[in-house]
Amino acid sequence: MNADASARAIDAVVRTRTGTALAANEIERLVADFVAGRIPDYQMSAWLATVACRGLSRAETVALTRAYVTGGETLDFAASGRVVLDKHSTGGVGDTVSLVVVPLVAACGVAVAKMSGRGLGLTGGTIDKLESIRGLRLELDADDVYRMVDQVGMVITGQSAGLTPGDKVTYALRDVTGTVDSLPLIAASIVSKKIAVGAHGVLFDVKTGAGALIPDRDRAVELARLMVEVATGAGLRCRAVLTDMSQPLGYAVGNALEVREALDVLRGREVPGLTDICRTIAELMLRSADPDLTPADAERKVSGILAGGEGYEQFVRWAVAQGAEPAALEEPDGLPTAECRTQVVADRGGYVREVDPRAIGTAAMNVGAGRFVKGGSLDYSAGVVLRHRVGDQVAAGEPLAVIHHRHGVQPPIDLVKDAFQLSESAPPSRPVLLQVI
């Protein structure tokens, strides 16, 4: 430890507690001291807890974001001569948007570089879903990332350990000190990764509702606005959408099941809710890359790509270039398929009023689609496929959902059945897109 660094850390805690703003260089030095081991955990924990209670100004949050990037690896796509975009979702049950939007935008001619993570809990993770594709490599070095963007216009890879070292070490503290849900700390953590991957712009998809990590709408709006402001302050082209997660986004919940559904959407199949929000996000990303593109032109471009199946062709080109076996995507049983399928049927007729996304997500976890502990194994074939969504009319004895599972795994029939709430009259329709920020 270093006495001067400790004195600076104590001063930062006191000033933040009293509402006195820290200069950008002071925040950068505080983070650098902690990364280098010059101050102890308890001093950085004290500052993080103070931030969680008192907050940070926008300028301080931008400074913290940049401090997280300093000293780590960064990617630079300037040599490509192309605008490269990224997309981030705060997560939700059955959220396959990235699997659709990234190849869709790439098929429209705009490069996308996305670093994704694994799932823990109900919301799953893009990397886990893609690992259900045989042979697909998802741990790439910088040269591989550049090559993929140059050759096929897109890349999806796991997060590099060398990115944002400040965020990595401070997040470990936040995870054990009750400061994970601090909005300035969330925003700095997310945006710092977008800067490090070299994106010129980013689209934030902030979920809200029962199946989201941030259920409260007002809080989700606050986070979306903060991320846009911080990202814009860091020089990124940026938009955000607020989307509804009061029911699973699509029909499929589970790794290979969600990949199948995403491929169906890319082939032109309409999946209520999922297809609509993917179109909207893709259009916003195209307009971010080309500010002269009108909303109508962006809509026509995206709709044409979906109708022609070019998004699917782009996905296959990318996956094969990243090592996937073509048969895994082109043959009907190429993706992992469950040994057993158990139907869950309606006890009575009516209209679907609610589908509890947390219950569906928990059921999928219970049959092996998610992890209860970090590093746990997955059954890529497992999950739940809905047969009905909110607003659908069902008859007694009609399937509500199908549980995909292995032999010997008890399907949580009651949990899935109880997730569906029926009423005698049709409920009002719910928009998936709640707000554009």
d(CA 37, CA 39): 6
Measured torsion, CA atoms of residues 95, 100, 105, 107, in degrees rounded to the nearest 10: 170
Q: Given 160, 189, 192, 381, which residue is catalytic?
A: 189
User: 242 pairs with which residues across the strands?
Assistant: 206, 435
Specify the CATH number for the domain of residue 372: 3.90.1170.30
**How many helices (DSSP H) and strands (DSSP E) are in the chain?**
17, 13
- What pairs with residue 401 in β-bridges? 344, 386
Instruction: Assess whether 10 and 108 both reside in one domain.
Output: no
Q: Is residue 433 part of a domain?
A: no
Report if residue 437 sits inside a domain. no
Q: Are residues 259 and 282 in the same domain?
A: yes
How far is residue 369 CA from its own chain's centroid? 17
Question: How far, in Å, CA of 246 to CA of 435, rounded?
Answer: 15
The range of the structural domain enclosing residue 409 comes to 340-423
Q: What is the DSSP string of 353-408?
A: EEE-HHHHHHHHHHTTSS-SSTT----TT-EEEES--TT-EE-TT-EEEEEEE-TT
Please give the pLDDT value at position 125: 81
Residue keyed to tokens 């995206």: 302
Please give the Cα distance from 337 to 195 (Å, whole number): 38
Instruction: Give the residues of the chain that fall short of pLDDT 70.
Output: 117-124, 161, 175, 373-375
Domain annotation covers residue 434: no
Tell me the C-alpha distance between 306 and 275, whole Å. Answer: 10
Q: Do both 281 and 418 map to the same domain?
A: no
CB burial readout 411-433, b (16+ within 10 A) else e: bbeebbbebbebeeeeeeeeebe
From 33, 86, 128, 167, active-site residue: 167
Q: What is the pLDDT of residues 373-400, one digit of tens each?
A: 656 789 999 999 999 999 999 999 999 9
Kind of pairing, strands 237-244 and 111-116?
Answer: unpaired
Locus of tokens 């991320």: 227
Here the CATH number for the domain that contains residue 169 is 3.40.1030.10
> Which pairs count as long-range contacts for 51-57, CB under 8 Å and 24+ apart, including other chains?
51/16, 51/179, 51/182, 51/184, 51/185, 52/178, 52/179, 52/181, 52/182, 52/185, 54/16, 54/17, 54/19, 55/182, 55/183, 55/184, 56/16, 56/184, 57/21
Task: State residue 127's pLDDT score.
Answer: 87
- Residues 184, 317, single domain; the answer is yes
296 and 215 co-located in one domain: yes
Q: Please say which residue of 304, 329, 354 terminates a domain.
A: 329
Is the same domain home to 209 and 269? yes
**Span 113-124, pLDDT tens digits:** 998 766 655 666
Can you read off the two tokens belonging to residue 153?
A: 């216009």
Let me know whether 219 and 284 are in one domain. Answer: yes
Q: Per the domain annotation, does 190 fall within a domain?
A: yes
Pick from 322, 401, 313, 320: nearest CA to 363? 401
Assess if residue 114 is contained within a domain.
yes
The catalytically annotated residue of 29, 174, 239, 404 is 174
Is there a single domain that holds both residue 51 and residue 99? Answer: no
Nearest-10 Cα torsion for 357, 360, 362, 367: -160
User: Would you call 407 a catalytic residue per the annotation?
Assistant: no
Q: Would residue 61 count as lying in a domain?
A: no
Q: Is 417 a residue of the active site?
A: no
- The catalytically annotated residue of 38, 88, 114, 129 is 88
DSSP, collapsed to helix, strand or coil, labels residue 429 as: coil
Does the annotation count 147 as an active-site position?
no
- 381 and 268 together in one domain: no
Choosing from 87, 129, 193, 371, which is the catalytic residue? 193
Predicted TM-score (pTM) of the model is 0.88
CATH number of the domain residue 17 falls in: 1.20.970
Does 388 participate in catalysis according to the annotation? no
Q: Domain count for the chain, please give it.
A: 3
242 and 354 together in one domain? no
Q: Which of 279, 303, 329 is the last residue of a domain?
A: 329
Position 205 scores a pLDDT of: 95
Verify that 173 and 47 share a domain, yes or no. Answer: no
Active site residue 88: yes
The SS3 of residue 4 is helix
pLDDT score at 120: 52
Q: Is 251 a member of any domain?
A: yes
Domain assignment present for 16? yes
CA atoms within 13 A on the CB side of 407: 1
Q: Are residues 171 and 314 in the same domain?
A: yes
Q: What is the pLDDT of residue 207?
A: 92
